[in-house]
């Protein structure tokens, strides 16, 4: 029976679906993400009043817009009338207007106006789905799953970025042409130092801890963090132990920290099997960064945030992430052609990430049966 299924997928010439998958890697590469979490959808500042954009969460199209009252809403991206995408329309006041017959929807998804004759009928009750929305860390987040769970599911707090003198922050937003599980493998599997041999953000990583607890995978590497390239001159090793990094896949997010001085969160928006919007917030303590030759001087916040971070983003972090995005995209190409080849994976952490991704998707499928 198993052989028969395999033959069918091979004949189709495309990777198997989650149900057809024959092994863990195939399952991981076909899994969606559990919608009962908050996912980043847009940058708060970019979604100005009256603006609407399409956001896709795992093949579901959502119209995200900000009304003239400043409130952001997310509604299903289809008109109840003839199923046009509402994102082809526009925002009027706090309503979305469909471009075809002009039906109007409010932020709860209720059709509140039909601007043509009703053929003697009362204004009918038509509704489309709406999604909980919140703004945090400069991002607009949507909750694509069961709205009843929205208040109990939390977006991680980042106290380092609050207050009057926050850490230096680098924001990266990249749409990777690969599956979200490949992104997760990439950000937590430190065996790929070779890819970054030019910038050397880490090298010689040895996995010293790997632990799966509930919906989290925690791991640690002994490695040299930030020791290469130009960056090496700006990292104050007297103040931070940069020989170890702790990482976590805290479903559906990923994070790292180096001696409480360098941290990041990776928030992803899974779009489809081949596309993942990936948002990184990297943040750095004042004491971590130094100007060569100035010794133990504590860097003022303005210099850290307005000068050092933009330079680090341009010359170190963006090129690095572009290397990762490229590698994941070509990994996806390789997988799409060779999904049936034997698994050759050495890092046990990768197995743990994939197992968590699969389990969370199975939980979602079981709930929706
Ligand atoms: S299709 Fe939207 S108003 Fe008719
Ligand atoms: Fe990388």
Centre of ligand 1 to C-alpha 110, Å, is 14
Centre of ligand 1 to C-alpha 114, Å, is 9
Mean of pLDDT over the chain:
93
Closest CA to 72 of 123, 150, 131: 131
CB of 98 sitting under 6 A from ligand 1 = yes
pLDDT score of 3 more than 80? no
**Which ligand gives the minimal distance to the CA of 115?**
1
Per residue, what are the HEC states of 264-312? EEEEEEEEECCEEEEEEEEEECHHHECCCCCCCCCCCHHHHHHHHHHHH
Specify whether the CB–CB gap between 246 and 219 falls below 8 A: yes
Q: What is the pLDDT, as a whole number, of residue 153?
A: 97
Q: What is the pLDDT, as a whole number, of residue 12?
A: 57
Using one digit for the tens of pLDDT, what is the confidence trace for 87-128? 999 999 999 999 999 999 999 999 999 999 999 999 999 999
Residue 288: pLDDT band by 50, 70, 90 thresholds?
A: confident
Centre of ligand 2 to C-alpha 231, Å, is 16
Residue 39: pLDDT band by 50, 70, 90 thresholds?
A: very high
Q: What is the DSSP string of 22-56?
A: -SHHHHHHH----SSS-EEEEETTTS-TT-EEEEE
CATH superfamily of this structure's domain 159-363: Naphthalene 1,2-dioxygenase Alpha Subunit; Chain A, domain 1 (3.90.380.10)
In this prediction, residues 53-62 reach a mean pLDDT of 98
Q: Domain segments of the chain: what residues?
A: 39-149, 159-363
Measured distance between the N- and C-terminal CA atoms of the chain, rounded to whole angstroms: 24
Using one digit for the tens of pLDDT, what is the confidence trace for 234-265? 777 777 788 899 999 999 999 999 988 899 99
In this prediction, residues 138-148 reach a mean pLDDT of 98
Specify whether the CB–CB gap between 241 and 208 falls below 8 A: no
Q: What is the pLDDT, as a whole number, of residue 234?
A: 75
Using one digit for the tens of pLDDT, what is the confidence trace for 173-206? 999 999 999 999 999 899 999 999 998 888 889 9
Which residue is listed with tokens 């001696």? 259
Whole-prediction pTM:
0.94
Q: What is the pLDDT, as a whole number, of residue 328?
A: 98
Q: What is the pLDDT, as a whole number, of residue 8?
A: 47
What is the phi-psi region of residue 165: left when phi exceeds 0, alpha when psi lies from -120 to 50, beta otherwise?
beta
**Which ligand gives the minimal distance to the CA of 191?**
2
Q: What is the pLDDT, as a whole number, of residue 230?
A: 67
Q: What is the pLDDT, as a whole number, of residue 295?
A: 66
CB of 101 sitting under 6 A from ligand 1 = yes
Q: Which atom of ligand 1 is nearest to the CA of 89?
A: 2
Quick one: CATH architecture of 39-149? 3-layer Sandwich (2.102)
């Amino acid at each position: 029976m198993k052989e028969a299924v395999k033959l069918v997928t091979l004949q189709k010439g495309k990777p198997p679906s989650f149900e057809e998958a024959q092994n863990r890697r195939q399952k991981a590469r076909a899994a969606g993400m559990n919608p009962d979490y908050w996912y980043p959808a847009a940058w708060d500042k970019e979604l100005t009043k009256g603006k609407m954009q399409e956001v896709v969460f795992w093949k579901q199209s959502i119209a995200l817009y900000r009304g003239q009252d400043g409130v952001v809403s997310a509604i299903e991206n289809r008109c109840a009338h003839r199923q046009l995408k509402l994102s082809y329309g526009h925002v009027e006041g706090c309503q979305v207007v469909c471009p075809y017959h002009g039906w109007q929807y409010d932020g709860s998804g209720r059709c509140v106006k039909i601007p043509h004759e009703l053929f003697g009928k009362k204004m009918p009750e038509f509704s489309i789905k709406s999604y909980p929305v919140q703004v945090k860390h400069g991002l607009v987040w949507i909750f694509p799953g069961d709205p009843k769970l929205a208040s109990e599911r939390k977006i991680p707090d980042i106290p380092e970025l609050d207050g009057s003198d926050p850490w230096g922050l680098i924001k990266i937003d990249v749409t990777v042409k690969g599956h979200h599980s490949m992104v997760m493998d990439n950000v937590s599997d430190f065996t790929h130092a070779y890819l970054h041999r030019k910038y050397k953000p880490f090298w010689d990583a040895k996995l010293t801890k790997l632990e799966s607890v509930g919906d989290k995978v925690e791991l640690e590497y002994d490695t040299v963090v930030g020791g290469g390239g130009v960056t090496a001159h700006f990292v104050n090793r007297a103040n931070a132990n940069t020989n170890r990094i702790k990482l976590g896949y805290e479903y559906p997010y990923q994070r790292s920290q180096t001696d409480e001085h360098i941290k990041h969160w990776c928030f992803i928006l899974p779009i489809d099997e081949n596309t993942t919007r990936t948002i990184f917030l990297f943040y750095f303590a004042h004491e971590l960064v130094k100007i060569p030759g100035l010794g133990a001087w504590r860097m003022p916040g303005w210099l850290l945030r307005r000068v050092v971070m933009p330079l680090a983003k341009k010359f170190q972090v963006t090129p690095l992430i572009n290397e990762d995005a490229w590698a994941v995209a070509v990994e996806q190409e390789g997988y799409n052609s060779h999904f049936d080849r034997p698994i050759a994976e050495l890092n046990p952490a990768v197995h743990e990430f994939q197992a968590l991704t699969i389990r969370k998707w199975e939980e979602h499928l079981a709930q929706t049966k």
